């Protein structure tokens, strides 16, 4: 989950891959996200693009 969020996946992108609602994903994983921030996130270039269609491949 942390990797998916760091590389730019939205909560909706993750929810679609998992087959659950955006709210369910955010409720489960959102509170921990603040602990995952890196000091240089603004300079980080994503190495995996968010899905453009529903995918069965999980980014984590």
Q: Which residues contact 49 (CB under 8 A, 6 or more apart)?
A: 7, 8
Residue 33 lies in a domain: yes
Q: Give the predicted TM-score (pTM) of the model.
A: 0.52
Mean pLDDT estimate for the chain: 74
Q: Domain total for the chain?
A: 1
Per the domain annotation, does 49 fall within a domain? no
Task: Tell me whether residue 48 is in a domain.
Answer: no
- Which pLDDT belongs to residue 32? 65
For the segment 34-51, the average pLDDT, to the nearest whole number, is 56
User: CA torsion angle for 54, 6, 15, 53 (degrees, to 10)?
Assistant: -10
Q: Does 15 reside within a domain?
A: yes
């Amino acid at each position: 989950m942390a990797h998916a969020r760091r590389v730019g996946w939205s909560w909706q992108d993750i929810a679609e891959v998992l087959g659950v609602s955006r709210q369910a994903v955010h409720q489960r994983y959102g509170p921990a996200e603040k602990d995952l921030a890196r000091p240089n996130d603004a300079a980080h270039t994503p190495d995996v693009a968010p899905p453009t269609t529903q995918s069965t491949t999980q980014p984590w």
